[in-house]
Chain A
Amino acid sequence: MERLDLPVTDTAVAGRPTDHQVGRPLGSDGSNQRPLWVRFAPVLLTLPALALLVAIVGEPLYEVFQRSFTQPKAGLSNYDWFFSSSLNVALLRRTFVTAFVVTVVCVALAVPYVFLMTIVSKRARNLMLFLILVPFWTSTIVRNFAWVLLLQHSGLLHQFMAKFGFDVTLIGTTKGVVIAMSQVLFPFMVLPLYATMSKIDVRLIQAAKSLGARPSVAFAKVYLPLIRPGVIAGSVLVFVLALGFYITPAMVGSSKNSLIAGEIWNQINGLLAWGPGSTMAVVLLVLTLVLLAISGLVIRRSSPLQGGSR
């Protein structure tokens, strides 16, 4: 150990080489006298994490990809089946609509909520942030179980609403799934939104009003464009997470309104149909990645705070 330590100490005393110097050819300065493992330390340190990632994410996803083209026979037959079956198209549409409605509910509730967060006292703001983080930290299963208890026919919410003449069935319906999913995903909308909205100077609205804009106009013309990157980031995150949701539809919904993740589960676990199940997973994965990539580009473009004129 001692032998290895000494050269590092030497260079440190002589002045630490900068990152650029590390890559220089031999003999350019003292830094290349450091042992090899010290020079490659940054790469070496990330290796265990990357190895784990390749083994438990890379390889498995490759396997899914491969099975979608090879099982039960080689070719595109699984994709033909997926996009030609009206059941699957309906499934895909239901998944999209559910995810979209959940996203709209989250945006509609999160924008006023976060706006209030930016104008109240620090104490109230911390309380509001705490309310967001509590469900974030509570068990997924417990929260979904609670929704089952509330929405079922003998549940509190159902009985409460029936008392006022609203006899709506929520358990096993898409409505019930949307209510529960929006609550589970709400923090994922609020956190990116808060990151954007807390940086915006709310006096800009005042300025717009003093120039004669009505409050609604000031909000639409000044505030909304400023918060757009946060809204897009939060919406895409919620939408993408909702697309792949399994637990809430499985617990609160029914097999009749299952989403794509539920169908993947049925194919693999129920029918042992690896080809079709993997194909659905590939479709879901590609959709997710494409949406995230697009949102990344849009956010970079539409961020008014990142313009050069600031």
Chain B
Amino acid sequence: MIISRRTKIALEALAVLVGTWLVAPTLVVIPISFTGTSSLAFPIRSWSTQWYHSFFADTAWMEALSLSLRLGLCVALVSTVVGTAAALGLRRFGGTRGRSFVRGLLMTPLIVPGIALAIGVYALFLRMQLTGTFIGFVLAHSVLGVPYVVITVGAALESFNPQLLHASASLGAGPMRSFLRVTLPLIAPGVLAGVLFSFVASFDEVVMALFISGPYTKTLPIVMFESITRDSDPTVAAASTLILGVSVLLITASLVYAARRNRRLA
């Protein structure tokens, strides 16, 4: 026994409290989304599903949802292609110094304070007339997605045996074909994780979007942020509950996928 029984019980009690503090607060959006009154106050006296109706009926919410989904998909595509290429290039870089320098550079979007980056991008986009444009959003969000892809694909490449490429080359495959038929299938889980991470990075991004949104192009987090800080319309609770539901589904799906894969490889 490393620690006494009493200490262990105390630690377990603390862990339960911490776990509750991490997960439970977020669940409060669920009951609020079914409130019958048009306020965000507790206690809830009557119940209804009207806020879900107003979410799906309101064009402002639907356009924001559609923009965020399209944007997330484009960002996932751009970040994954660019980031996977970078991860492949980094692995074959001559010299560890150059490699860790370039890798460090590629991680800067995660380190730079969001607000500092946001006002810089805002200044640039004002000059280039890119504020409120789809392409502007894609560019701004892709740069945030790339580091995640470099990390996940880089991790997948760690366990990739480069001898396999000699084998495929000796069988007559060119570099492109070797990549598509040998490398890509083997690093697919890392690429897939990169797609997921960069999609979420875009779908969840607030600070940059606050600056570069236009009056008619607002992402879902921006419409939510404005609704929360300006009025007390429970529609935002319905939107939150829906997002929460999708995240839980995604987490569960990825855990099941990971567990299956581990079992298959074991």
Give A contacts to B, CB under 8 Å: 1, 4-5, 8-9, 12-13, 16, 19-20, 22-23, 38, 41-46, 48-50, 52-53, 55-57, 59-64, 67, 109, 112-113, 115-116, 119, 128, 130-135, 137-150, 152, 154-156, 159, 183, 186, 202-203, 205-206, 215, 240, 243-244, 246-247, 250-251, 261, 264-265, 268-269, 274, 277-278, 281-282, 284-285, 288-289, 292
A residues in contact with B225, CB < 8 Å = 141, 247, 251
A23 to B244, CA, bound (A): 52
B residues in contact with A5, CB < 8 Å = 174-175
A132 near B22 with CB under 8 A, answer yes
Contact A41:B89 (CB < 8 A) given known A134-B22, A140-B204 = yes
B120 near A61 with CB under 8 A, answer yes
Chain B stretch 67-112: residues in CB contact (< 8 A) with chain A: 81-83, 85-86, 88-94, 102, 105-106, 108-109, 111-112
How many residue pairs between the two chains, A and B, have CB atoms under 8 Å in the bound complex?
274
Contact A288:B124 (CB < 8 A) given known A152-B40, A281-B119 = no
B residues in contact with A67, CB < 8 Å = 123
A52 near B29 with CB under 8 A, answer no
Give B contacts to A, CB under 8 Å: 2-4, 7-8, 11-12, 14-15, 18-19, 21-23, 25-29, 32, 39-43, 81-83, 85-86, 88-94, 102, 105-106, 108-109, 111-117, 119-124, 139-140, 142-143, 146, 150, 165-166, 169-170, 172, 174-176, 200, 203-204, 206-207, 210-211, 221, 224-225, 228-229, 236-237, 240, 243-244, 247, 250-251, 255
Known: A183-B22, A284-B115. 6 other contacts (CB 8 A): A8-B169, A48-B85, A131-B23, A141-B224, A215-B4, A288-B111
User: What is the distance, in angstroms, from B189's C-beta to the closest C-beta of chain A?
Assistant: 17
A64 near B170 with CB under 8 A, answer no
B residues in contact with A144, CB < 8 Å = 228
Q: Which residue of A lies closest to B78 (CB)?
A: A52
Give chain B's interface secondary structure class.
helix
B22 near A131 with CB under 8 A, answer yes
A19 to B85, CA, bound (A): 18
A60 near B123 with CB under 8 A, answer yes
B15 near A56 with CB under 8 A, answer no
Contact A52:B82 (CB < 8 A) given known A145-B236, A146-B26, A268-B119 = yes
Q: Which residue of A lies closest to B176 (CB)?
A: A1
A residues in contact with B240, CB < 8 Å = 139, 141-142, 145-146
B120 near A247 with CB under 8 A, answer no
Q: Which residue of A lies closest to B115 (CB)?
A: A261
User: What is the distance, in angstroms, from A106's C-beta to the closest C-beta of chain B?
Assistant: 10
B residues in contact with A268, CB < 8 Å = 119, 122, 211
B residues in contact with A57, CB < 8 Å = 108-109, 112, 117, 120, 143
User: Out of B115, B166, B174, B229, which one reaches A4, CB within 8 Å?
Assistant: B174
User: Out of A112, A138, A156, A278, which one reaches B26, CB within 8 Å?
Assistant: A138
B111 near A60 with CB under 8 A, answer no
B residues in contact with A250, CB < 8 Å = 229
Query: Of B42, B115, B203, B251, which is in contact with the most chain A CB atoms at under 10 Å from its CB?
Result: B115
A residues in contact with B92, CB < 8 Å = 19, 41-42
30 contacts between A and B (CB under 8 A): A5-B175, A20-B94, A42-B92, A46-B89, A49-B85, A50-B106, A56-B124, A56-B142, A57-B143, A60-B120, A63-B123, A109-B18, A112-B14, A119-B2, A139-B221, A142-B26, A142-B29, A143-B26, A144-B228, A145-B240, A149-B237, A152-B41, A159-B43, A215-B7, A244-B115, A246-B114, A264-B119, A265-B115, A265-B210, A289-B111
A135 near B106 with CB under 8 A, answer no
A139 near B204 with CB under 8 A, answer yes
A residues in contact with B90, CB < 8 Å = 42, 45-46
